[in-house]
């Protein structure tokens, strides 16, 4: 049987989701608990691979077992045994062909930015010292949605088979006085793409890059043409969606 695990984590102390030989990862913590509880090795396949220091308000992973599990009890045991910076929302049974990564229909990331010194935002947002033209940055974000090739925003050396992504939402939203978040939704994302997109939009916001110049950056298809990669602390994997038909209950769980 196959199950989806809905979880969240503070990525500060982890070298991303994926298990690594010489560094602590979220996958390692999750799989170790599964092995302890189920008394056998179980592999988790996640919807994506967040980088070092990136957070997830919502991540989804799947695992297979031969016998049914008590989802409520397993969720409880996860939350008892996991460290405080990882939490499991729920575990739900899905069809055998449901895949945490390939069955996802959309993913949403948020990038948090603040300009006024705020010690409570510091671990989960990036402080920026320049004055920024957010209406202009939203014009630029709208132009990004007209494109599908995002090779200019992909980390060099990545082994993607394609750089095609279909954006359905991209916008800066004011959260508070001198605090903003960038929301972006697509069917898939390239490695380091969101942080590179944000860094490029900030160049637009500083009036160092024109809207036409942004178009040239996208068309270049080269990472060196785009802006800097922003710090990981401000980035959250915010949401992932799946078709209701994948869930044995007939409906995807409501987390938020």
Q: What is the distance between the alpha carbons of residues 197 and 130, in angstroms, rounded to a whole number? A: 17
Average pLDDT of the chain is 96
Q: Which two tokens stand for residue 1?
A: 């049987």
HSE (side-chain half, CA atoms, 13 Å) at 255: 21
pLDDT at residue number 43:
96
Name the pLDDT band for 237 (thresholds 50, 70, 90).
Answer: very high
Looking up tokens 């603040």 gives 114
Kindly report the length of the chain. Answer: 256
Name the pLDDT band for 155 (thresholds 50, 70, 90).
Answer: confident
3-state secondary structure of 117: coil
Q: Is 51 annotated in the active site?
A: yes
- Condensed to tens digits (0 to 9), the pLDDT of residues 102-144 reads 999 999 999 999 999 999 999 999 999 999 999 999 999 999 9
Cα–Cα distance list, 125 to 114, 175, 240 (Å): 7, 12, 21
Fold exhibited by the domain 106-237: Alpha-Beta Plaits (3.30.70)
Active-site annotation holder among 51, 97, 118, 176: 51
Domain definitions of the chain by residue range:
2-103, 106-237
Fold exhibited by the domain 2-103: Alpha-Beta Plaits (3.30.70)
Domains 2-103 and 106-237 share a fold: yes
Q: What is the distance between the alpha carbons of residues 201 and 218, in angstroms, rounded to a whole number? A: 12
């Amino acid at each position: 049987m196959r199950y989806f695990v809905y979880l969240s984590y503070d990525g500060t102390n982890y070298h991303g989701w994926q298990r690594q030989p010489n560094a602590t990862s979220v996958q390692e913590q999750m799989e170790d608990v599964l092995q302890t509880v189920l008394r056998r090795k179980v592999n988790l396949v996640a919807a994506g691979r967040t980088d070092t220091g990136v957070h997830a308000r919502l991540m989804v992973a799947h695992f297979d077992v031969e016998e049914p599990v008590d989802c409520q009890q397993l969720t409880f045991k996860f939350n008892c045994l996991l460290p405080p910076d990882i939490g499991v929302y729920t575990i739900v049974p899905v069809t055998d062909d449901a895949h945490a990564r390939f069955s996802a229909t959309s993913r949403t990331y948020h990038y948090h930015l603040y300009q006024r010194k705020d010690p409570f935002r510091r671990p989960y947002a990036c402080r920026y010292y320049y004055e920024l033209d957010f209406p202009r940055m939203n014009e630029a974000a709208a132009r990004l949605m007209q494109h599908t090739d995002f090779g200019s925003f992909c980390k060099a050396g990545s082994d993607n088979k394609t750089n095609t992504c279909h954006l359905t939402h991209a916008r800066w939203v004011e959260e508070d006085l001198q605090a903003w978040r960038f929301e972006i939704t697509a069917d898939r994302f390239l490695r380091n793409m969101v942080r590179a997109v944000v860094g490029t939009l900030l160049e637009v916001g500083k009036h160092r890059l024109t809207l036409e110049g942004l178009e040239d950056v996208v068309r270049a298809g080269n990472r060196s043409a785009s802006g800097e990669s922003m710090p990981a602390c401000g980035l959250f994997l915010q949401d992932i969606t799946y078709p209701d038909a994948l869930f044995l209950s007939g409906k995807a769980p409501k987390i938020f």
